[in-house]
């Protein structure tokens, strides 16, 4: 069966990742008429409270429920049609006690968590899937590493007619993207902070870190959707300090003017993408897919 509705599915690790990574892109495709689905692997139970105003006992005690409500609010702002939770527990930062819990996402056998995603892909039938890149050395959270691994596996297995028919009718997504954070973007933003006489919130080591610029195949112009991202971030009250210069230091018009796109790497494709074959950047995640937006 072929899905005729343009459908975009994003896989994330914790509530708030869907707002900090790729939210403007999803908001854009939602406005174009795509069906947008979020898969979140964990409840973010191990997250710290990063907004001092929310650091209260009743919040700490109910963090999973609070983060669930924040997730619902943020995804409404972004425009997700559906939020599917894999229901695993946050594995915590590397080396923390939470790493050892058997219900932590990272400790679930990878075949099981992959199958969970295969079943969702077969049911939801997205043509386009976005996940995290292979190299996450800048932020090697075990749950983020695992999101990448199950996404890459599930992308191939979902369409394999011989693989576990009990997980649903085989469906092959057509394109798999990695979301990237490029040095070009950081430098453009830092430069804008300085030009406006504002102090850059990017620590020096961040500027020295190797970027993933060489992987960019695709740039999505999201100038008109940066406000939506800010509103989605603010919904994550425990995770995002509304005074954070990192997220809110530049007016959105300045951010859009300094660097208006989100950068992606087309990691797997079942369709021919003419821009990439011609050596130019792709500007639409659905390029090469024969589907029409409403």
- The site for Zn ion (CB under 5 A) is made up of 13-14, 17
Residue closer to Zn ion by CB (options 73, 123) is 73
| CA atoms of 171 and 159, how far apart (whole Å) | 4
Q: Which residues of 174-197 are buried (b: 16+ CB within 10 A; e: fewer)?
A: bbbbbbbbbbebbbebbebbeeee
Residue closer to Zn ion by CB (options 106, 286) is 106
Q: How far is the CB of 2 from Zn ion (least distance, A)?
A: 33
- The angle formed by the CA atoms of residues 290, 292 and 77, to the nearest 5 degrees, is 120
Closest Cα partner for 154 from 124, 191, 188, 199? 124
**How many C-beta atoms surround the C-beta of residue 34 within 10 A?**
24
Torsion of CA 225, 25, 71, 9, to 10 degrees: 160
| CA atoms of 38 and 82, how far apart (whole Å) | 6
| CA atoms of 30 and 11, how far apart (whole Å) | 16
Q: How far is the CB of 293 from Zn ion (least distance, A)?
A: 30
75: its two tokens: 């995804």
Residue closer to Zn ion by CB (options 229, 269) is 229
Residue closer to Zn ion by CB (options 85, 270) is 85
Closest Cα partner for 80 from 155, 29, 44, 123? 29
Q: How far is the CB of 103 from Zn ion (least distance, A)?
A: 17
Phi, psi of 281 (to 5 degrees): -80, 145
| CA atoms of 38 and 8, how far apart (whole Å) | 9
Residue nearest to Zn ion (CB): 14
Q: How far is the CB of 12 from Zn ion (least distance, A)?
A: 7
Q: How far is the CB of 120 from Zn ion (least distance, A)?
A: 19
Residue closer to Zn ion by CB (options 14, 236) is 14
Q: How far is the CB of 147 from Zn ion (least distance, A)?
A: 9
Return the SS3 of 129: strand
Are 131 and 151 a contacting pair, CB within 8 Å?
yes
Residue closer to Zn ion by CB (options 45, 115) is 45
Q: How far is the CB of 92 from Zn ion (least distance, A)?
A: 11
Residue closer to Zn ion by CB (options 17, 115) is 17
Are 37 and 8 a contacting pair, CB within 8 Å?
yes
Q: How far is the CB of 236 from Zn ion (least distance, A)?
A: 11
Residue closer to Zn ion by CB (options 116, 141) is 141
């Amino acid at each position: 069966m072929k899905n005729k509705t343009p459908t975009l599915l994003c896989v994330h690790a914790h509530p708030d990742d869907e707002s900090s990574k790729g939210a403007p892109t999803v908001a854009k495709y939602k406005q174009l008429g795509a069906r947008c689905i979020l898969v979140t692997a964990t409840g973010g139970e191990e997250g710290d409270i990063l907004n001092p105003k929310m650091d209260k006992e009743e919040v700490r005690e109910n963090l999973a429920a609070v983060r669930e409500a924040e997730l619902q609010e943020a995804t409404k702002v972004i425009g997700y049609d559906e939020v599917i939770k894999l229901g695993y527990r946050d594995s915590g930062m590397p080396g923390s006690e939470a790493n050892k819990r058997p219900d932590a996402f990272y400790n679930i056998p990878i075949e099981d968590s992959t199958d969970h995603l295969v079943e969702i892909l077969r049911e939801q039938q997205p043509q386009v899937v976005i996940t995290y890149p292979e190299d996450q050395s800048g932020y090697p959270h075990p749950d983020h590493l695992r999101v990448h691994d199950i996404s890459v596996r599930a992308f191939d297995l979902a369409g394999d007619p011989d693989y576990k028919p009990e997980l649903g009718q085989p469906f092959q997504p057509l394109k798999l993207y990695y979301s990237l954070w490029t040095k070009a973007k950081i430098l453009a933003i830092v430069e804008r902070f300085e030009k406006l006489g504002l102090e850059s919130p990017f620590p020096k080591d961040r500027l020295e870190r190797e970027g993933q610029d060489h992987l960019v195949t695709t740039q999505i112009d999201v100038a008109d959707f940066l406000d939506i991202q800010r509103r989605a971030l603010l919904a994550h009250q425990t995770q995002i300090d509304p005074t954070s210069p990192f997220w809110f230091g530049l007016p959105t018009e300045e951010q859009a003017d300094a660097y208006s796109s989100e950068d992606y790497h087309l990691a797997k494709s079942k369709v021919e993408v003419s821009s990439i074959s011609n050596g130019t950047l792709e500007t639409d995640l659905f390029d090469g897919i024969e589907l029409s937006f409403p």
